[in-house]
Amino acid sequence: MNALPPQQPATRTACPYCGVGCGVLAVADLNGGAMIAGDPDHPANFGRLCSKGSALGDTLSLDRRLLHPMIRRAPGVLGRVDWDTALDAVASGLRTVVDRDGPEAVAFYLSGQLLTEDYYVANKLMKGFLGSSNVDTNSRLCMASSVAGHRRAFGADIVPGTYRDIDEADLIVLVGSNAAWCHPVLYQRMIAAKRNRGAKLIVIDPRRTATAKDADLFLPIAPGMDAALFCGLLVHLADTLALDYAYIDRHTAGFVEALARAREIAANPAATARATGLEQADVAHFFELFRKTERVVTCFSQGVNQSAQGTDKVNAIINAHLATRRIGRPGMGPFSLTGQPNAMGGREVGGLSNQLAAHMGFSPEERDRVGRFWRAPCLAAKEGLKAIDLFEAIERGSIKALWVMATNPVVSLPRAGAVRHALGKLDLFIVSENVLDNDTIAAGAEARTQVLLPGAAWGEKHGTVTNSERRISRQRAFLPLPGEARPDWWIVTEVARRLGFGSAFAFGGPADIFREHAALSAFENNGERDFDIGALAGISDAAYGALDPVMWPARAGEPSREQRFFAAGEFFTPDRRARFVAPERPRPRSATSKYFPLRLNTGRVRDQWHTMTRTGMSPRLGTHSPEPFVEINPADGEAALLADGGFARITTSHGSAILKVRFDAGQRLGSIFAPIHWSEATAAYARVGEMVTAANDPFSGQPELKATPARAEPVEFAYVGIALSRGAITLPAGTWFARQAITGGNAVLFATNEPFGLWHEHARTLLPADAELAEYIDQSRGLIRIAAFRAGRFDGCIFVGPAQSQPQWGVVRSLFEAGILAEQERRTLLSGRSADGMADTGPVICACFGVGLAAIQEVVAAGRNVTVDDIGRTLRAGTNCGSCLPELRGIIERSASPVVP
Ligand code: SF4
């Protein structure tokens, strides 16, 4: 792992997944792939990568790539066209809608995966030249509440601290953040602070996550009650005389009102405990740790943001830091952990519908300034529609043309079924994508005209991204553009040219765009706006090509340095004072009932990203959580008559899904958790977004993705099975399945109620007709094992067994990948009995080295006082990215061995 061939020059680039923004070294191989390592010189990761970053080389296949522009005009099918035809269709379609229905009838839906340069030109085209602000982004689902909270408190969307503060903190508070899985490399810096400096870690989360397992104090808070906890903290700090009144008086406003509201919500530790569902002793312990520790960083993420009261939660956290001046100083501050690789870059260019550009809004002065800078003929007059409202406008028919870039809203948005239906109403549906098929592309089949534009993927394009600590890094290409794929900035500028705006979009490459973006940030700024990278406005092409990671602000004429904000005030409000915000009393937007007695919390798993269009291509990333699942407290599970390892139908008022059941005592009673990753392209009946409510935060427009009332009911399947093939696999309609990435073919895990006899027939039709079939059938035990061989190569199989059976997926997969089998291996395959060295390893815990649960348990059982270091020495598990370390510790804890930290 992380070893590159010596003497081959590596390309320095950045990871395309989470907001940690790790530096990556890539060396292209001769097969269109690449060898990957962490960049030891990048200040976000110093050479480390998590499991997802380490597996980037597995995800570069062109198998399912969209390689040519395509158009479908109803009624009809998608057909390949040349670029001129596609771009003309986009431009003329947009022009028709704008002329006929006005600019508000057009919308762009962008992505935190886009590069800043792509974002900049899309935002400029829509807001400056088409005349609408209907540009929103999937970042609305990710960090909009942090943006709104920052702007309310600081007068600008700014993260005050840097990663160095996490290294230097004595107390790290994680709120609604499973950083061990979702920001793994930064999490390892937290663990290093704990190990090396004795920093304490507090985790506040309704679920006992992998992160919670490392915590010195875990607070299993009731869903949605974070603001109550931080109100209680503010009151406690006031009552114990721990506030910095000199700072409050000199640099802030609104403190008295905020404290009064906090007293109404949580007047003391006992009231706080009641409001939050926590033990009073734990609440008091947290309050005292915060009070006694000067260097406190509070990191927050989706558990805070993805809420109908997310902005209030953010401000309640910021209030506690402002009141104690734990902000802008080493080792202190509120810290929003951004979900996506370039959500920050999108914020910088103004790629949200309630921003104009470069951290400017829609005041007359700001409109005038941006309009003059862009020489915009048709500047948007007001804020546009935020994501949820935007798709509802499509549903109502008031938006007629939509351009989706690099995201999959039919899977990720709340009420995803309604979103899918809405897309069919569009006159013009443009999708810039890497993949040939996903749920969003499929949903556009009903639109009057659909245009698919093949965008460049990671490794094929140049530009910049900004991570959670305001650090701008270069993404660089190290692979040629495949087929007719083009960078998104090029596609947008070609459309702009065809719309008659060529002179304003005469960019020769991303460096031109970056220079203009930097110049706008500094235009008539004079230090009044936080976002200023004017020092880079004159950067040469060569310097842009070689640009090292740089943190903003980077003002012209000022020395380059890492800057913290607000230790001495100087906020970006008109009076330069921060604002305390009095939050509303926290209450869930939608109540549970006897029909929907549980709360559905949605989130991510360790080794997958978003809708799996990229990570789903990596066999090793698929081994940790191969099937869509729901976690439920065993007591709730038994009450709902579920079985651990069985299946459940989860239903809300918006939709339902069928998911594998995992009993987990770390789930709060009354809460269930399901990951968001699976789509119709990758599984059956597993689109979790379809079930989620669309209740929005009133300030940020961010939807509540973590508290939808739901119920769980058992689903019985008579048989489970696996199917592998060198070609495509199509199972009978009604079969529950989850696709698996596998080297050299395709694979699915499935479950079915079709009768035994029918499966025998299906198996024969699903396997290659020209293959030699080897069969093992045991009707009395409900077993079918049919394997297909061509020229001695194991080319496919269908194995079906009773619902309680274990199909030995790991063993079958490795035999399939091996191809030619020895006689003993053939016998193992068909009999299902493990031969020496072929025992199924169980779920893979360490994705980097493919180490399964069974092997780890064996090491733990064989020794005394076994530590994670012992496991690492024996199996290498946990010695690369560290993402599995919390799970290794959990396995040790659950074993008979005494725990050794
Ligand atoms: Fe990529 Fe992992 Fe780093 Fe996030 S922590 S940027 S996913 S390598």
Question: pLDDT band at 112, cuts 50/70/90?
Answer: very high
- Please give the distance, rounded to the nearest whole angstrom, from the Cα atom of residue 38 to the centre of ligand 1: 10
3-state helix, strand, coil in the chain (%, to 5): 35, 20, 45
Record: fold of 844-896: Arc Repressor Mutant, subunit A (1.10.10)
- Please give the distance, rounded to the nearest whole angstrom, from the Cα atom of residue 20 to the centre of ligand 1: 6
Whether the bond between 75 and the residue before it is cis, its omega within 30 degrees of 0, is yes
Return d(Cα 746, Cα 386) in angstroms, integer: 39
Ligand 1 site, residue 675, Cβ cutoff 6 A: no
Q: Which of 109-113, 132-136, 394-398, 892-896 has the lowest mean pLDDT?
A: 892-896
Helix (H) or strand (E) holding 249: helix 245-251
pLDDT at 659 over 90: yes
Query: Residue 825 has what pLDDT?
Result: 82
Q: Where are the alpha helices (DSSP H) in 571-706?
A: 619-622, 634-639
Once rounded to an integer, what is the mean pLDDT over residues 283-290? 98
Return d(Cα 672, Cα 268) in angstroms, integer: 30
Torsion of CA 480, 482, 483, 487, to 10 degrees: -80
Both tokens assigned to 375: 């020489």
Q: Which residue has the tokens 């698919």?
A: 452
- Please give the distance, rounded to the nearest whole angstrom, from the Cα atom of residue 403 to the centre of ligand 1: 28
Once rounded to an integer, what is the mean pLDDT over residues 723-727? 92
Nearest CA to ligand 1 atom 3: 22
Question: pLDDT band at 841, cuts 50/70/90?
Answer: low
Entry pTM: 0.94
Ligand 1 site, residue 21, Cβ cutoff 6 A: yes
The residue ranges of DSSP E strands in 74-232, in sequence order, are 79-80, 106-110, 135-137, 171-175, 200-204, 217-219
- Please give the distance, rounded to the nearest whole angstrom, from the Cα atom of residue 387 to the centre of ligand 1: 26
Domains of the chain by residue range: 11-59, 70-142+343-460+491-501, 146-336, 598-710, 719-829, 844-896
Residue 88 backbone dihedrals phi, psi, to 5 degrees = -65, -40
Torsion of CA 488, 491, 494, 500, to 10 degrees: -80
- Please give the distance, rounded to the nearest whole angstrom, from the Cα atom of residue 878 to the centre of ligand 1: 16
Instruction: Tell me 618's DSSP state.
Output: -
- State in words which class domain 598-710 has: mainly beta
Locate the ligand 1 atom nearest the alpha carbon of residue 14 and give its number. Answer: 6
Return d(Cα 259, Cα 410) in angstroms, integer: 42
pLDDT at 154 over 90: yes
Query: Residue 460 has what pLDDT?
Result: 97
Over residues 484-540, the pLDDT tens digits come to 999 999 999 999 999 999 999 999 999 999 999 999 999 999 999 999 999 999 999
pLDDT at 7 over 90: no
Which CATH code of 3.50.50.60, 3.40.30.10, 3.30.1050.10, 3.40.50.740 fits the domain covering 70-142+343-460+491-501?
3.40.50.740
Higher pLDDT, 850 or 352: 352
Helices 116-124, 510-522: axis angle to 10 degrees equals 70
Ligand 1 site, residue 429, Cβ cutoff 6 A: no
Question: Given ligand 1 and candidates 13, 22, 186, 848, which is best to mutate, with the most ligand atoms within 8 Å of its CB?
Answer: 22
- Please give the distance, rounded to the nearest whole angstrom, from the Cα atom of residue 189 to the centre of ligand 1: 13
Q: Choose among 106, 703, 74, 704: nearest CA to 393.
A: 106
Question: pLDDT band at 898, cuts 50/70/90?
Answer: very low
Helix (H, G, I), strand (E, B) or coil at 566: coil
Ligand 1 site, residue 17, Cβ cutoff 6 A: yes
Once rounded to an integer, what is the mean pLDDT over residues 230-250? 98
The residue length of the chain stands at: 901
CA distances to 259, 359, 550 from 527, in Å: 31, 13, 19
Where does 146-336 sit in CATH, by number? 3.40.228.10
Over residues 567-601, the pLDDT tens digits come to 999 999 999 999 999 999 998 888 999 999 999 99
pLDDT at 653 over 80: yes
Return d(Cα 113, Cα 872) in angstroms, integer: 34
Torsion of CA 301, 304, 310, 315, to 10 degrees: -90
User: Would you say 877 and 883 are in contact if contact means Cβ atoms under 8 Å apart?
Assistant: no
Query: Residue 901 has what pLDDT?
Result: 30
Helix (H, G, I), strand (E, B) or coil at 614: coil
Locate the ligand 1 atom nearest the alpha carbon of residue 20 and give its number. Answer: 6
User: Would you say 51 and 184 are in contact if contact means Cβ atoms under 8 Å apart?
Assistant: yes
Helix (H, G, I), strand (E, B) or coil at 375: coil
- Please give the distance, rounded to the nearest whole angstrom, from the Cα atom of residue 21 to the centre of ligand 1: 6
Question: ∠293-297-302 over CA atoms, to 5°?
Answer: 140
pLDDT at 6 over 80: no
Over residues 744-791, the pLDDT tens digits come to 999 999 999 988 888 878 877 888 888 898 888 888 888 889 999 999
Query: Residue 836 has what pLDDT?
Result: 43
Indicate the residue type of 497: R
Over residues 665-716, the pLDDT tens digits come to 999 999 999 999 999 999 999 999 999 998 999 999 999 999 999 999 999 9
The DSSP bridge pattern shows strands 171-175 and 296-300 to be parallel
Query: Residue 839 has what pLDDT?
Result: 54
Over residues 786-822, the pLDDT tens digits come to 999 999 899 999 999 998 877 777 888 888 998 888 8
Query: Residue 896 has what pLDDT?
Result: 54
Ligand 1 site, residue 19, Cβ cutoff 6 A: no
Q: Which residue has the tokens 């994680």?
A: 174
- Please give the distance, rounded to the nearest whole angstrom, from the Cα atom of residue 182 to the centre of ligand 1: 8
User: Would you say 621 and 299 are in contact if contact means Cβ atoms under 8 Å apart?
Assistant: no
Question: pLDDT band at 832, cuts 50/70/90?
Answer: low
Query: Residue 30 has what pLDDT?
Result: 82
Ligand 1 site, residue 22, Cβ cutoff 6 A: yes
- Please give the distance, rounded to the nearest whole angstrom, from the Cα atom of residue 845 to the centre of ligand 1: 18
- State in words which class domain 11-59 has: mainly beta
Percent of the chain whose predicted confidence (pLDDT) is above 70:
97
CA distance from start to end of the chain:
26
The DSSP bridge pattern shows strands 463-466 and 471-475 to be antiparallel
One DSSP character per residue, 203-243 reads EE-SS--TTGGG-SEEE-PPTT-HHHHHHHHHHHHHHTT--
Torsion of CA 586, 592, 598, 599, to 10 degrees: -30
- Please give the distance, rounded to the nearest whole angstrom, from the Cα atom of residue 217 to the centre of ligand 1: 26
Query: Residue 2 has what pLDDT?
Result: 47
Both tokens assigned to 730: 């199509």
Instruction: Tell me 699's DSSP state.
Output: T
Ligand 1 site, residue 185, Cβ cutoff 6 A: yes
Locate the ligand 1 atom nearest the alpha carbon of residue 49 and give its number. Answer: 8
Ligand 1 site, residue 130, Cβ cutoff 6 A: no
Return d(Cα 582, Cα 244) in angstroms, integer: 18
Query: Residue 3 has what pLDDT?
Result: 63
Dmax (CA) of the chain: 83
Q: Which of 42-46, 133-137, 566-570, 888-892 has the lowest mean pLDDT?
A: 888-892
How many other C-beta atoms lie within 10 A of the C-beta of residue 770?
8
Rg of the chain over CA atoms, in angstroms?
A: 27
Question: Given ligand 1 and candidates 2, 17, 59, which is best to mutate, with the most ligand atoms within 8 Å of its CB?
Answer: 17
Once rounded to an integer, what is the mean pLDDT over residues 866-882? 87
Once rounded to an integer, what is the mean pLDDT over residues 460-477? 97
